Chain A
């Protein structure tokens, strides 16, 4: 039986997948590249999510998930998951478990992922709901940093060289990673999805990431971004609260749950790309998938590997979220129309 989800479930899954892992680290790379111009550069690029999603929503039926395309996206999403896993392993090692072997941390993540993959599809669709109160709590903690905010940190604008703005534009792509999941998840939503809902989702996404960028910019000096790779975590670590010695650890567990679910959504999407006859052996496939993921993920858990995989993803995202959808959709529309005319 074909899975049906509502538009709200679609947007929740997309939001978790797009925010999941990236939102802790994209700021430093972007600010290092674009300086104080980072926030308006991101705002300008972030506005592109509206036409991007609108086009996806308008033409998703022309994007056929079969053959080579399904295979390529499966490989890409697998690599996204592996790099997320490597980053999670590295980050947990640095922030929370310095003496625990990274392999054990990753194994733990993969076991949870295996459980999610073995669950019913409905579980994967709805599990993101548990994150909603956590996200609200997290935002409250981030806003505790406002008392130290220096608003002049956002100015002056226009000082960054054009070549640096270009570099910054590429770094600003990180939060967009996963947008192509819309093309697949949209197929599970019966009927039309109102453009207004797409715009609201785009607005929520943009507001979330803009806050995640502006808050650290108000809090840290630009020079500090070179030293601090996870500014949001550092901000939380700086907060002095009476109920907890290290607020960053609480956030790390929230972030971990967030990342688990984000990876679960990618795994869910990959499983749906598999041919029906392979999909039947679910537990064996899930186990093999997790072992392979662990094998690749453990190769990506060093500082340099995390940096390299992040850079690769910036370019791969341009291919899989922009170039390929454009080529496939326009190809299918042109050739589909011709075939229609010929058969007529």
Chain B
């Protein structure tokens, strides 16, 4: 009996997990959060699934507070169950809010161990509430968080924008020599549901207000040497005196950055495959060389245009600063990297090589 009692007493600590037991029926699991406002007056929108009549509806609630954590606590005043953000799928932040120090709104998500670090992050353009509810449920279904997650994944797969989770955003916000770039969503005028609008550029911990188009984002992913699964582009070419369109897909590439004083020369050798070329066989009459030359010129021009936009915004999402910091200390120590980056003489040069022509010649 005595031994049994001792055993029972000693077993009590094995119930340690019971203190931290959280039952799903007591929680409102939030899968989508929207943040807008400014420090001192932050509004948080929460979207969470709720079972009604054998259907799952996505309900929304919003709360205001001095900070993200304050608003998160405030929401519990008006929900029947405790709001739980540990299963968050997507975090949306308004463009205006992102123009201040982003870490002020993300620290809670970044710091608390129960929170999911793999939640996707995107900026939104327009009214936050229109992203939380479905104005056009036929188009995207009722699961908005799931739709936005897949939309961001698709845009990353097709190199139309960047895709970062909370952890990566935190790392880039603190990173020296590389700036954050986040996808921007907007409600499509025709579709009425969220669409990719482009890629927002950051400078330090704040958004610059400059947004790249999806075409520029594709070029950025080549220059960053980090394209998604698919990267396709359509260009106008002139063959045999006729102008027509050619669509190419990125196959592989090499980058070579040479930094000498203030001069940066970025060379890219890019192998592509032809996706569409309605003029006819590519192999005829040395067409490959002609096409390669024209494509190289156009991609080089696109790269140069992108560099102008980046330098004007003072944002370095390519990570040139990382190479400079590591191997060119004189240039790095000149001052604030974003300022230095804007003043550099950067030239890009792309050499396109048609590696494959599809199953047609």
Contacts and interface: CB of A to CB of B under 8 A. Distances in A.
A98 B14 CA distance: 16
Interface of A: 94-101, 104-105, 107-108, 111, 148, 150, 152-156, 159, 219-224, 227, 234, 237-238, 240, 245, 248
B278 interface: no
B356 interface: no
B139 interface: no
Contact of B327 (A99, A105, A153, A156): A156
A221 B171 contact: yes
B329 A159 contact: yes
Contacts of B165: 238, 240
B5 interface: no
A288 to B, nearest CB: 16
A100 B117 contact: no
A101 B171 contact: no
A341 B17 CA distance: 65
Contact of A104 (B16, B177, B325): B16
11 contacts: A94-B113, A97-B17, A99-B20, A101-B19, A104-B13, A107-B13, A148-B171, A155-B326, A159-B329, A223-B174, A224-B171
Nearest to B87: A245
A240 B19 contact: no
A234 B319 CA distance: 23
B118 A238 contact: yes
A100 B13 CA distance: 10
Interface string B55-92: 00000000000000000000000000000000100000
A108 B327 contact: no
Contacts of A111: 10, 13
A221 B172 CA distance: 8
A100 B16 contact: yes
B20 A96 contact: yes
A224 B171 CA distance: 7
A155 B327 contact: yes
A227 B175 CA distance: 13
Nearest to B111: A227
Interface size class of B (residues with CB under 8 A): 20 to 34
Contacts of B14: 108
Interface string B39-53: 000000000000000
B176 interface: yes
Contacts of A154: 326
Interface in B122-170: 165, 167-168, 170
Given A108-B13, A108-B16, A221 B175 contact: yes
A107 to B, nearest CB: 5
Contact of A245 (B116, B168, B322): B116
B104 to A, nearest CB: 14
Contact of A221 (B13, B174, B326): B174
Given A152-B325, A238-B117, A238-B118, A99 B176 contact: no
B329 A156 contact: yes
A94 to B, nearest CB: 6
A105 B20 CA distance: 12
The CB with the most chain A CB atoms within 10 A, among B10, B16, B177, is that of B16
B117 A223 contact: no
Interface string B162-205: 00010110110011110000000000000000000000000000
A152 B117 CA distance: 24
B323 interface: yes
Interface string B298-323: 00000000000000000000010011
A108 B16 CA distance: 8
Contacts of B322: 150, 152-153
Nearest to A220: B171
Contacts of A223: 174-176
B69 to A, nearest CB: 15
Contacts of B170: 224
A224 B17 contact: no
A237 B113 contact: yes
Given A159-B329, A237-B113, A240-B165, A100 B20 contact: yes
A99 B19 contact: yes
A100 B10 contact: no
